[in-house]
Amino acid sequence: MELPKTAEVVIIGGGVMGTSTAYHLALKGCKDVLLLEREEFFGIQATGKCAGGIRYQFGTEINVRLSLLSLPMLDRFEEELGQPIDLKYCGYLFLLTREEDVEAFRRNVEMQHRLGVQTQWLTPDEIAKMVPLIDLEGVIAGTFHDRDGLADPNSVVQGYVSGARRLGAKLLTGVEVTDVLVEGGRVRGVVTNRGTVSAPIVVNAAGPWAGEVGKMAGVEIPIVPLRRQIVVTSPIPEVPPDFPFVIDFAQSLYFHREGQGILTGMSNPNEKVGFDQSVDPEWELVHLEAAMKRMPILQKAGLASHWAGLYEVSPDAHPILGRIPEVEGFYCIGGFSGHGFMHGPACGLLLAEEILDGKAHTLDITPLSIERFRQGEGIREYNVV
C-alpha cells in the first residue's frame, strides 16, 4: 500500500497499544487513521515477546481500575473482533517470602477488595495443596485470584489490526518514522523512510523506543528500555492443566504453563538500560538455578526455546497516557513497565476518547499524565515483576 500524504491521526508503533488505539479511534468514527510499524510484522517487538499474563492483582488503584476495564474487554474480544485469543483463567498465585511484602500485599488486597476484586489470602498449607510441584521453602503467605490468567498477545494484535482495517484505518508495516515535524509548538506530521505525512495529531506508541520518538518531537519522555528474558521448557507431563501463573515475588521469578511445558522468567535487578535483545547466558544460568530450586521438576525438562525482549519502563512503573503538553497534538501511550499487554484494550479506548472527545471519560487518566513527573509526583506500583 502506498504511503498517504496526509492523515488525521498518525500512530507510531504497531504493538498492542498502537493497534488498540487505531481500532478504537476508527470505532469512534475517526476513519483517517494511519498506523506505521517499522518491522515487517505487527506486534513482534515488546508485545510479541511478553509472557501474556493478565491480572487484577496490582498495588495501586489506577492499575486495578485499568484491569477492571481492560480484562472484560479481553473476555468479549472474540465476540467483538472475531479473533480467538487463547484466553485462559488459570489464576495468578503470588508467593511471599518477606514480612515487608506480606504487609504491603495485605494493604493491596484490602484495596483490591474495596474495588470488587476478590483476591484470596492463602496460608502455606493452602498453597501446598494448590501447587504440589512448587517447593515452598521460605514461603510465609500467598495471594490468589482466579480471574487472572493468560491470553495470546499476537492474536490480540492481529484482532485489532483486522478490526481497524475493516473500519477504514490504514495500518502499514516496513515504514520507519525518522522524525516528528513540530512547528510553532504543535505537531505537523512525520517524516518516514518512504516519505512525509502531514497530520495534526501524532501518537507515540513506540513502546521501548518511546523516549527516542519523544526526542524527535523535542520532548523528554521518561521511558527507557530494559532487557528481560524468558525460557520455555520441553513437555513436562506432571504439570496439571490448571497450573496457575506462579510468581515468587521477592525474586521476580515466575512460571506458567506454555503448551505442554513451562514458561519461566526472572528479572535481573542489575540489568542496564539499553536496546540489547540478545540472551544473556550468565543471567539465564542464575535464573534457571533459582527456577529449579523453586520448581524442582524443571530439572527433568529440556530447553525448548528462549528469548529476550524489552520492557518499556517509566520512573514509577506506571504508563504515560494522554497528551504531551509541550507539543499540541502529540500524545503518548507507553511506559507500562512489564504489564502493558493486559491494559492495551483499555488504554487504546481511553486514548481515543482523549483525542476525539478532549478527555478520557470511561476512566479518569489524570494520574497517568506525564505532568506527574514534571511535578515530581510519581505513583509507585509495588506489584512489578
Q: Are residues 113 and 232 in the same domain?
A: yes
Tell me which of 313, 334, 365 is where a domain ends.
313
Give the integer Cα–Cα distance in Å for 311 and 219: 21
Tell me which of 264, 296, 313 is where a domain ends.
313
Q: Are residues 289 and 161 in the same domain?
A: no
Does residue 52 sit in helix, strand or coil? coil
Using 50, 70 and 90 to split pLDDT, how confident is the model at 48?
confident
Give the integer Cα–Cα distance in Å for 28 and 208: 28
**189-211: per-residue pLDDT in tens?**
999 999 999 999 999 999 999 99
Domain of residue 211 covers 9-50+153-223+316-374
Q: Are residues 306 and 321 in the same domain?
A: no
Give the CATH number of the domain where residue 248 resides. Answer: 3.30.9.10
**Higher pLDDT residue, 48 or 146?**
146
Does residue 233 belong to any structural domain of this protein? yes
Does residue 41 belong to any structural domain of this protein? yes
Does residue 182 belong to any structural domain of this protein? yes
Tell me which of 313, 329, 360 is where a domain ends.
313
8 Å CB contact between 319 and 342: no
Q: Are residues 201 and 325 in the same domain?
A: yes
Name the burial class of residue 171, with classes exposed (0-12), middle (13-18) and buried (19+) by CB atoms within 10 angstroms of its CB: buried
Using 50, 70 and 90 to split pLDDT, how confident is the model at 50?
confident
Question: How large is the average pLDDT for residues 214-234?
Answer: 97
Does residue 68 belong to any structural domain of this protein? no
8 Å CB contact between 206 and 175: no
Question: How large is the average pLDDT for residues 328-340?
Answer: 96
Q: Are residues 261 and 287 in the same domain?
A: yes
Residue 384 has pLDDT above 80, yes or no: no
Q: Which residues contact 34 (CB under 8 A, 6 or more apart)?
A: 4, 7, 9, 10, 11, 169, 170, 171, 172, 197, 199
Give the integer Cα–Cα distance in Å for 235 and 253: 20
